[in-house]
């Protein structure tokens, strides 16, 4: 209307191409003007539009290093989406990815969603039968696989695209992208149809499955968008941030950080392996501002010979288990600030955070660490976290906020998975009473913060008392010579169960106790006397060179229980 | 299940009351575990739970100053919700508020939503007939009114609650809150039912209505949540932030900052009036980190005798019109960082932002300001902004991204209003072609950023050319002696229209031109010769002591046109 009478506003034919700033997907008709389905793909498209020349990905520590700006990367993501569609991938299909942290892995988190398919990342440390099970269960139609892991997919019926991680001509993955470009007919983003249902599946991540078969956790576009936003906000990621990939992206889709990074317009550095020497190179010289890692990974970082105080402040997100006072202190000395979060694959990674209080300033490091070790309160977009017990009618009742009574952590809201894929029974069980049941046992403190006591299966029932293996570990980790400690139950003829501690020593203490492990055991037991009640003191202590860990750096208690079973 | 066999986990009766950390609304049954309707009320409840003793509101510059911690404030909000429900307010009812920036006004933004009603803030500068019209049109059932504005609601049928802004016993508003508490039967938050539809109305703000009747802009819970989140993120508001209220909350619900502040756990300082001396008191001594204001308000702030360089960095969000180089420079000298955003009431306030680019560092202030004056790109949760022209079939076509071709700014997505309340005709017109039409004329630059040229009605058609009054103002504002300038069209016998400039002089230049306005006119015309094409140079210049402004600090061009009409 406005322009009908004002001819002068009609544009002259475009002399400058506008394509480069058109990052709009094809909008299906019928969508209300005021509703846009939440979709984390939006973030990378914004980044490419607003900061086209900013470094999006740096992949430095390989034979053929590569770097991509946001505009180039967005084009590659678009190519991947077209290539998938051209390969027969339909909306809702699963596309598996088996790779360490490479540019291809980063592409996959956006390109698969752009093709309206579901990304199914698979842990590279799994055995072939485990991978087969996941491929079978997910029904993945296509597999993107890093050249180092092709043995895991040998003989699979699904279409396989191998990535040699070269970023160069001749790499099958690059050829796949080229085909996508070719089949796009240069329609660009406007040739891809926008998903109108934000409640549709976005990612399908399989739990590690310490007991029984791994379960497929189906998340939605809406949940991924809101979780990514929370992670960017809670860790203060911004356009001048540089994120270093240490956490594997295959672990719960990197806790949604692949999308938090793009939301923030930040630069990400991908690394194939967790190599502390390379990590320190980047912390010191690549302007890193953010990374994520479990405490065991963090211990490796702060204990490395190259570790030193950084000239700039770094924020690290710690999850997996609570950081100890020692670790928080060591990180702090390096100028690394800890954001302690808690979550599971079923909650898109983080869903609670230990919020720092004003009075922490006046506390000793040890006291402060005790507060910081708590799992805290629900994250900004995580609606609700409760600690409950369940009565005989399956009604959930909150435990008193007394810091003592143990219950189970349950949650609901937008950053809880939609369901276990193809497993209505497990879904029903996990969602009983209208809440997702985490399986983690915790107390609620008077300030409403929650603190994990244990996984339900990790509780040690010693003389009829419930001993939290986590609480025991926290106390023992304060012993001057202890680097890491894990405690599991060991059958005891009199008490039913008693704690057994597996310990690694600090490098500085190794010589002191060499050949004198019995003396160390005695020392540690003496140390625990003033700190732990009788039923919670370690009856047995075993010094190890290394503790068995998952690919994400969590100590594998199942392996330790295996050792115990053979004793 | 977990607890059936493990009796030790059953809690002993609570010795410590848990009520203080229960901020859960009553959850209606039938909601999927993984869906929680987005609702900005969640933010203040989180703040009260996580930081109960943190200062939420400080109201210092009145006879009876008051301060509220988050836990106390949350209780007051709950009381308000119960009081409204007890007064007969049903879900979806409108509750009007007429007040300056007071604690009651802050309460209203949360308490009305907690009662599942719609907040209808009314501009205190309106005339009684205008207020009557809005009350009639909105059908408000109850009015919360500040004692200074009771004359605006005299004779209204709706229930009226007067607030004397004392925060003390005897104040009718405080009595109203007490009644709410009383009628809550101490059920707390769990006695209030959660809204399950995030697409339901949250706020109803009336546009200033320079032409015709004001229109009621209905926003949703979902949109308010996402807009508030974007504002907190884009301005880096955090738990140690202090927000100073200068922008009236009745203006588009304070651009959703009432909820951004609570999301960030920040402290807000409320002020009844815009008093530059008080503002400087707070900037210098109250730890303020954030405020919002239109350029005219900002000019008043930087020009005040108390203005000086702050020892800490402040972020100010500027909207309403583009900040000039002079203003950006002056703010920068005071250590105030500018976030330039653009939006309308129909877009919850901000929906685009001028994103700072790396190369700005190498530019002169004047050059930098030219980039920063652009309206930029869509905000983090604002999906899409386009500059289009409309052909005869009402199809929208993007203008070329050439920085020259003028079109209209249109947008769609989650932070666009749901509709004009009770006005399907106006809604249909505003939403034609599936996009909200802003009425603002802009170009798109090659980098995809948009830059407003004018409101459609502010374009000056001079000798058949389209002269942007905004572009003329920007050039003239660079004259050394100009403080503020506004340009409107004035009929011209030969050229159809020609620009007329209304100018205020800097205090330092007043004496220089005293009694010599003709000489100043000549000087300004000479100045514009190298900067503007002939058709865009001001044919007439008028020096004023003050320019007429709206309550939000926007220059009222309608008033200037009124002057022109009488010439």
H or E, element range at A453: strand A450-455
Chain B partners of A42 at a C-beta cutoff of 8 Å? 383
Domains B2-269 and B460-565 fall in the same CATH topology: no
What is the Rg, in whole angstroms, of the alpha carbon atoms belonging to chain A? Answer: 25
Residue that has been written with the tokens 């009742």 in this structure? A397
Could A408 and B16 be called an inter-chain contact, meaning their C-beta atoms sit closer than 8 Å? no
Option in A38, A397, A414 nearest B36 (CB): A414
Chain A partners of B400 at a C-beta cutoff of 8 Å? 11-16, 18
Q: Say what the pLDDT of residue A5 is.
A: 28
The whole-chain average pLDDT of chain A stands at: 90
Q: Which residues pair with A465 in a beta bridge?
A: A462
The whole-chain average pLDDT of chain B stands at: 90
Q: Assess contact for B451 and B522: CB atoms under 8 A.
A: no
pLDDT digits (tens, 9 = 90+) for A383-400: 889 999 887 777 899 999
List the domain boundaries for chain B.
Answer: 2-269, 294-455, 460-565
Give the confidence band of A209 by pLDDT, cuts at 50, 70, 90.
Answer: low
The topology under which CATH files domain A460-565 is GMP Synthetase; Chain A, domain 3 (3.30.300)
Q: Which residues of B187-202 are buried (b: 16+ CB within 10 A; e: fewer)?
A: ebbebbebbeebebbb
Please give the structure tokens belonging to residue A475.
């106390």
pLDDT digits (tens, 9 = 90+) for A74-118: 999 999 999 999 999 999 999 999 999 999 999 999 999 999 999
Question: What's the rounded Cα separation, in Å, for the pair B196 and B209?
Answer: 33
Could you write out the three-class secondary structure of A235-257? Answer: CCCCCCCEEECCCCCCCHHHHCH
Q: Say what the pLDDT of residue B1 is.
A: 22
Give the confidence band of A186 by pLDDT, cuts at 50, 70, 90.
Answer: confident
Could B355 and A16 be called an inter-chain contact, meaning their C-beta atoms sit closer than 8 Å? no
Chain B partners of A20 at a C-beta cutoff of 8 Å? 401, 448
Q: Strand, helix or coil at B523?
A: helix
Residue B2 scores a pLDDT above 80? no
Determine which of A430-444, A550-564, B16-30, B120-134 has the lowest per-residue pLDDT on average: B16-30
| Count of CB atoms situated within 10 Å of the CB of B362 | 8
Phi-psi region of B485 (alpha: psi -120 to 50; beta: other; left: phi over 0): beta
Could A444 and B412 be called an inter-chain contact, meaning their C-beta atoms sit closer than 8 Å? no
Residue A538 scores a pLDDT above 50? yes
Average pLDDT over residues B148-158: 96
What is the secondary structure of B344-372 as a DSSP string?
Answer: EGGGTEEEEE-PPPGGGGGS-HHHHHHHH
Q: Say what the pLDDT of residue B284 is.
A: 96
Average pLDDT over residues B461-473: 78
What is the secondary structure of A254-281 as a DSSP string?
Answer: HHTHHHHHHHTT-EEE--SS--HHHHHH
Q: Assess contact for B454 and B441: CB atoms under 8 A.
A: yes
Positive/negative CA dihedral, A447, A450, A454, A456: positive
Give the confidence band of A499 by pLDDT, cuts at 50, 70, 90.
Answer: very high
Please give the structure tokens belonging to residue A273.
């392996």
Could you write out the three-class secondary structure of B418-446? Answer: CEECCCHHHHHHHCHHHCEEEEEEEEECC
Question: What's the rounded Cα separation, in Å, for the pair B130 and A16?
Answer: 48
Give the confidence band of A422 by pLDDT, cuts at 50, 70, 90.
Answer: very high
pLDDT digits (tens, 9 = 90+) for A432-483: 999 999 988 899 999 999 998 877 677 787 776 767 788 888 889 889 999 9
Q: Scanning every residue of chain A, which has its alpha carbon at the shortest distance from the alpha carbon of B354?
A: A50
Q: Scanning every residue of chain B, which has its alpha carbon at the shortest distance from the alpha carbon of A11?
A: B405
Residue that has been written with the tokens 């005790």 in this structure? A370
Give B389→chain A minimum CA distance, Å.
Answer: 7
Q: Scanning every residue of chain B, which has its alpha carbon at the shortest distance from the alpha carbon of A36?
A: B413
Q: Virtual CA dihedral for A365, A367, A369, A375, nearest 10 degrees?
A: -160
Could A21 and B406 be called an inter-chain contact, meaning their C-beta atoms sit closer than 8 Å? no
Average pLDDT over residues B71-85: 97
Pairing of strands B290-293, B314-318: parallel
CA atoms within 13 A on the CB side of B337: 15
Average pLDDT over residues B403-408: 90
**Planar angle of CA A434, A436, A440, nearest 5 degrees:** 135
Say how many Å lie between the first and final Cα of chain A, rounded.
85
Alpha helix (H) residue ranges in B87-220:
103-114, 128-138, 172-183
Cα A440 to Cα A33, A168, A346, A406, distances in angstroms: 43, 46, 13, 10
Please give the structure tokens belonging to residue A274.
């967790």
Q: Scanning every residue of chain A, which has its alpha carbon at the shortest distance from the alpha carbon of B383?
A: A36
Q: Assess contact for B199 and A31: CB atoms under 8 A.
A: no
Could A465 and B436 be called an inter-chain contact, meaning their C-beta atoms sit closer than 8 Å? no
Cα B525 to Cα A251, B459, B540, B547, distances in angstroms: 66, 20, 9, 20
Question: What's the rounded Cα separation, in Å, for the pair B369 and B316?
Answer: 15
Residue B29 scores a pLDDT above 90? no
Give the confidence band of B22 by pLDDT, cuts at 50, 70, 90.
Answer: confident
Closest CA to B228 of A229, A379, A259, A317: A229
Give the confidence band of B6 by pLDDT, cuts at 50, 70, 90.
Answer: very low
Q: Say what the pLDDT of residue B482 is.
A: 93
Closest CA to B473 of B464, B460, B456: B460
Give the confidence band of B16 by pLDDT, cuts at 50, 70, 90.
Answer: very low
Pairing of strands A540-543, A496-505: parallel
Determine which of A166-175, A332-341, A486-495, B20-29 has the lowest per-residue pLDDT on average: B20-29
Pairing of strands A377-378, A349-353: antiparallel
Strand order from edge to edge, sheet including A419-420: A159-163, A142-146, A94-98, A118-121, A201-206, A216-220, A419-420
Chain A partners of B455 at a C-beta cutoff of 8 Å? none
A interface test, pick of B11, B19, B410 with most A CB neighbours within 10 Å:
B11
Question: What's the rounded Cα separation, in Å, for the pair A298 and A293?
Answer: 6
Any idea what DSSP says for residue A100?
S
Question: What's the rounded Cα separation, in Å, for the pair A502 and A541?
Answer: 6
What is the Rg, in whole angstroms, of the alpha carbon atoms belonging to chain B? Answer: 25
Could B54 and A358 be called an inter-chain contact, meaning their C-beta atoms sit closer than 8 Å? yes
Could B36 and A413 be called an inter-chain contact, meaning their C-beta atoms sit closer than 8 Å? yes
Question: What's the rounded Cα separation, in Å, for the pair B72 and A142?
Answer: 56
**Planar angle of CA A85, A89, A90, nearest 5 degrees:** 100
pLDDT digits (tens, 9 = 90+) for B475-529: 898 899 999 999 999 988 888 789 999 999 998 899 999 989 999 999 999 999 8
Could A10 and B389 be called an inter-chain contact, meaning their C-beta atoms sit closer than 8 Å? yes
Q: Scanning every residue of chain A, which has its alpha carbon at the shortest distance from the alpha carbon of B225?
A: A381
Residue A260 scores a pLDDT above 90? yes
Give A220→chain B minimum CA distance, Å.
Answer: 9
Which of these CATH numbers, 3.40.50.1370, 3.40.50.620, 3.40.50.12780, 3.30.420.40, describes B2-269? Answer: 3.40.50.12780
Option in B2, B22, B417 nearest A456 (CB): B2
Give the confidence band of A551 by pLDDT, cuts at 50, 70, 90.
Answer: low
Give B152→chain A minimum CA distance, Å.
Answer: 33
What ipTM score was computed for the predicted complex, to two decimals? 0.86
Q: Scanning every residue of chain A, which has its alpha carbon at the shortest distance from the alpha carbon of B22?
A: A448
Option in A18, A33, A223 nearest B34 (CB): A223
Question: What's the rounded Cα separation, in Å, for the pair B97 and B102?
Answer: 11
Contacts of A272 (CB under 8 A, 6+ apart): A61, A62, A100, A101, A102, A165
Q: Say what the pLDDT of residue B212 is.
A: 65
Average pLDDT over residues B371-375: 91
Chain B partners of A21 at a C-beta cutoff of 8 Å? 401, 444, 446-448
Residue A189 scores a pLDDT above 50? yes
Q: Assess contact for B205 and B252: CB atoms under 8 A.
A: yes
Chain A partners of B346 at a C-beta cutoff of 8 Å? none
Chain A partners of B389 at a C-beta cutoff of 8 Å? 3, 9-11
Could A15 and B400 be called an inter-chain contact, meaning their C-beta atoms sit closer than 8 Å? yes
Give the confidence band of B10 by pLDDT, cuts at 50, 70, 90.
Answer: very low
Please give the structure tokens belonging to residue A335.
């100028």
Residue A504 scores a pLDDT above 60? yes
Residue B253 scores a pLDDT above 60? yes
Give A132→chain B minimum CA distance, Å.
Answer: 29
Give B5→chain A minimum CA distance, Å.
Answer: 11
Question: What's the rounded Cα separation, in Å, for the pair B163 and B172?
Answer: 6
Residue of higher predicted confidence among B390 and A47:
A47
Question: What's the rounded Cα separation, in Å, for the pair A445 and B52?
Answer: 14
Chain A partners of B406 at a C-beta cutoff of 8 Å? 9, 11
Average pLDDT over residues A317-334: 88
Please give the structure tokens belonging to residue B185.
């039967």
Which of these CATH numbers, 3.40.50.12780, 3.30.465.10, 3.30.310.80, 3.40.50.2000, describes B294-455? Answer: 3.40.50.12780
Pairing of strands A465-467, B496-505: unpaired
Option in A8, A36, A418 nearest B383 (CB): A36
Please give the structure tokens belonging to residue A188.
């660009």
pLDDT digits (tens, 9 = 90+) for B42-74: 999 999 999 999 999 999 999 999 999 999 999
Please give the structure tokens belonging to residue A161.
């695209």
Angle of helix A365-372 relative to helix A325-333, nearest 10 degrees? 110
Percent of chain B with pLDDT over 90: 73
A interface test, pick of B3, B34, B430 with most A CB neighbours within 10 Å:
B34
Please give the structure tokens belonging to residue A315.
């924020």
Residue B15 scores a pLDDT above 80? no
Please give the structure tokens belonging to residue A159.
């279409």
Residue of higher predicted confidence among A94 and A19:
A94
Please give the structure tokens belonging to residue A478.
């304060």
Q: Scanning every residue of chain A, which has its alpha carbon at the shortest distance from the alpha carbon of B419?
A: A34
Could A18 and B54 be called an inter-chain contact, meaning their C-beta atoms sit closer than 8 Å? no
Q: Say what the pLDDT of residue A63 is.
A: 95
pLDDT digits (tens, 9 = 90+) for A355-383: 999 899 999 988 898 899 899 999 999 98
Any idea what DSSP says for residue A27?
P
Please give the structure tokens belonging to residue A150.
């092709």
Closest CA to B102 of B267, B203, B245: B245
Question: What's the rounded Cα separation, in Å, for the pair A229 and A22?
Answer: 23
Option in A22, A51, A435 nearest B33 (CB): A435
**CA–centroid distance for A529 within its chain:** 37
Determine which of A208-212, A225-229, B334-338, B344-348 has the lowest per-residue pLDDT on average: A208-212
Average pLDDT over residues B4-30: 54
Q: Virtual CA dihedral for A48, A49, A53, A57, nearest 10 degrees?
A: -10
Phi-psi region of A332 (alpha: psi -120 to 50; beta: other; left: phi over 0): alpha
Please give the structure tokens belonging to residue B15.
């010795």
CB pairs under 8 A between A and B: 220
Q: Assess contact for A44 and A77: CB atoms under 8 A.
A: yes
Could B417 and A34 be called an inter-chain contact, meaning their C-beta atoms sit closer than 8 Å? yes
Chain B partners of A440 at a C-beta cutoff of 8 Å? none
Phi-psi region of B267 (alpha: psi -120 to 50; beta: other; left: phi over 0): beta
Q: Say what the pLDDT of residue B470 is.
A: 82
């Amino acid at each position: 209307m406005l322009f009908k009478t004002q001819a002068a506003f009609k544009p002259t034919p475009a002399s400058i191409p506008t394509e480069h700033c058109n990052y709009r997907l094809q909008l299906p008709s019928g969508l209300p003007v005021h509703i846009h389905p939440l979709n984390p793909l939006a973030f990378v498209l914004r980044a490419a539009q607003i900061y086209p020349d900013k470094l999006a990905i740096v992949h430095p520590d390989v034979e053929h290093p590569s770097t991509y700006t946001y505009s180039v990367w967005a084009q590659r993501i678009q190519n991947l989406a077209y290539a998938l569609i051209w390969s027969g991938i339909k909306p809702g299909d699963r596309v598996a990815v088996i790779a360490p942290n490479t540019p291809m892995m980063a592409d996959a988190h956006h390109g698969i969603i752009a093709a309206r398919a579901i990304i199914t990342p698979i842990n590279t440390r799994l055995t072939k039968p485990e991978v087969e099970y996941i491929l079978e269960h997910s029904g993945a139609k296509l597999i993107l696989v890093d050249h180092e892991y092709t043995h895991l997919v040998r003989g699979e019926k699904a279409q396989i695209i191998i990535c040699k991680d070269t970023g160069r001509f001749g790499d099958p993955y690059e050829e796949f992208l080229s085909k996508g470009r070719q089949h796009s007919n240069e329609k660009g983003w406007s040739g891809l149809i926008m998903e109108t249902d934000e409640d549709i599946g976005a990612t399908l991540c399989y739990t590690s499955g310490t007991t029984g078969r791994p379960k497929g956790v189906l998340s939605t576009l809406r949940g991924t968008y809101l979780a990514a936003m929370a992670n960017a906000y809670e860790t203060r990621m911004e356009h001048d941030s540089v994120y270093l990939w240490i956490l594997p992206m295959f672990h719960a889709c990197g806790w949604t950080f692949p999308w938090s990074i793009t939301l923030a317009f930040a630069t990400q550095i991908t690394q194939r392996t967790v190599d502390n020497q390379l990590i320190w190179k980047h912390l010191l010289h690549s302007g890193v501002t953010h990374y994520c890692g479990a405490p065991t990974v963090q211990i490796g970082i702060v204990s490395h010979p190259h570790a030193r105080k950084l000239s700039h402040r770094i924020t690290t997100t710690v999850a997996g288990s609570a950081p100890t006072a020692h670790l928080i202190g060591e990180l702090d000395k390096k100028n690394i600030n800890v954001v302690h979060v808690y979550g599971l694959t079923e909650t898109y990674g983080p869903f609670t955070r230990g919020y720092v209080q004003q009075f922490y300033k006046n506390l000793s490091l040890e006291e402060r660490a005790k507060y910081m070790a708590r799992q805290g309160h629900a994250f900004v977009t995580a609606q609700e976290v409760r600690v409950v017990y369940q009565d005989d009618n399956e009604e959930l009742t909150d435990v008193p906020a007394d810091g003592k009574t143990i219950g189970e952590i349950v949650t609901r809201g937008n950053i809880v998975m939609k369901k276990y894929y193809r497993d209505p029974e497990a879904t029903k069980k996990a969602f009983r009473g209208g809440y997702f049941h985490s399986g983690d046992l915790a107390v609620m403190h008077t300030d409403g913060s929650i603190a994990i006591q244990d996984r339900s299966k990790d509780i040690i029932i010693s003389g009829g008392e419930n001993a939290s293996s986590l609480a025991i570990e926290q106390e023992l980790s304060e012993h001057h010579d202890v680097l890491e400690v894990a405690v599991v139950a060991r059958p005891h003829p009199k008490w039913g169960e008693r704690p057994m501690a597996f310990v690694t020593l600090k490098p500085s203490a190794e010589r002191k106790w060499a050949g004198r492990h019995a003396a160390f055991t005695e020392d540690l037991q003496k140390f625990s006397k003033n700190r732990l009640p009788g039923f919670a003191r370690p009856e047995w202590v075993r010094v190890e060179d290394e503790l068995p860990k998952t690919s994400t750096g969590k100590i594998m208690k199942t392996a330790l229980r295996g050792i115990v079973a053979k004793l």
